[in-house]
Amino acid sequence: MPTVDFVKGHGTMNDFVLVADLDGALSLTAADVGFLADRHAGIGGDGVIRVTRTESVADAPADIDPQLWFMDYYNADGSAAEMCGNGTRVFARYLVEHGLASGPSFEIGTRAGVKRIDLVGDGYSTDLGPWRLSRADEAAKRGMDAVVQVVGAPDALPALSLDLGNPHTVVALPPSMDLGTLDLQRAPHVDPRPFDGTNVEFVRAHGPGHISMRVFERGVGETLSCGTGAAAAALATWWWSGQSPDQLQWTVDVPGGRLGVLIEGDRVSLSGPAALVADGRVSLPG
């Protein structure tokens, strides 16, 4: 049974098990990821992050420096994801606390490309890079290109699909509904369903630049926060409200805390806290 060092961390209670693989010797199977993420039989987390160099990641983008530290991210069900916004800050905290990165600003590799991380106060800001409407057809430009059925809503709700490196479908709740009335124990049904699935965000607007949201994450289920989801939710709300150049800074409240989103043209950045809370050694099942 292989034994690995792990660190447990979270960003606004989106929690991760980080596994050190500094020399690229470890191969994590989907069963290993499922075990590490299991809250009863394993360590417990929404996702698992292998800390390794880009050269050790078979499906890393070819244009990333092979020596750059790479956030090799897996959802709790074992599926690989292109990006994790909250994960980038927790990964950054790990690199700094383990002496693998330093300075107020540095870069990391992800399946969605290189991301710049800046130290901001006690937390970090991540330049998530370019965002786009997933379909960019007339329906998307008008603000709705999909419908979502979710337990707790009597009717199918219109939604907008965005690409933040990973896929998102954002739903604005009608004024008659509260976020708390949704039942996210079961997966929302998205039509049309993107081929690779999607993360689904439900949004309540509070005022200029301020929203709250709940999220059902692809490969996980409901989580207490999703960073790329917060960015998608802010972008969709900005899109629906007419894309004012005066409303580019957003506060996004999630069940696990508060995130900041800054829209900068076709780029978007995400800021928030990151905490490492435990470490240890664990034997993998396989």
Query: Is 81 a residue that touches ligand LBFN2T5F (CB under 6 A)?
Result: yes
Closest CA to 129 of 145, 107, 144: 107
Q: Tell whether the torsion through CA atoms of 82, 271, 88 and 68 is positive or negative.
A: positive
Cα distance between residue 27 and residue 21, in whole Å: 9
- Applying the rule CB under 6 A, the residues between 226 and 265 that interact with ligand LBFN2T5F are 226-229
Query: Is 274 a residue that touches ligand LBFN2T5F (CB under 6 A)?
Result: no
Two structure tokens written together for 106: 């540095």
Residue 164, burial from CB neighbour count under 10 angstroms (0-12, 13-18, 19+): buried
- Applying the rule CB under 6 A, the residues between 38 and 67 that interact with ligand LBFN2T5F are 47
- Asked if 16 contacts 46 with a C-beta cutoff of 8 angstroms, the reply is yes
242 annotated ligand-binding residue: no
Two structure tokens written together for 24: 């690229």
By beta-carbon proximity to ligand LBFN2T5F, the closer residue of 42 and 167 is 167
By beta-carbon proximity to ligand LBFN2T5F, the closer residue of 246 and 254 is 254
Query: Is 14 a residue that touches ligand LBFN2T5F (CB under 6 A)?
Result: yes
Query: Is 17 a residue that touches ligand LBFN2T5F (CB under 6 A)?
Result: no
Q: How far is the CB of 74 from ligand LBFN2T5F (least distance, A)?
A: 9
Q: How far, CA to CA in Å, does 259 sit from each of 124, 168, 179, 183, 276? A: 11, 17, 18, 23, 18
Active-site residue set: 84, 226
Residues that bind ligand LBFN2T5F (CB under 6 A): 14, 47, 75, 81, 84-87, 166, 199, 217-220, 226-229
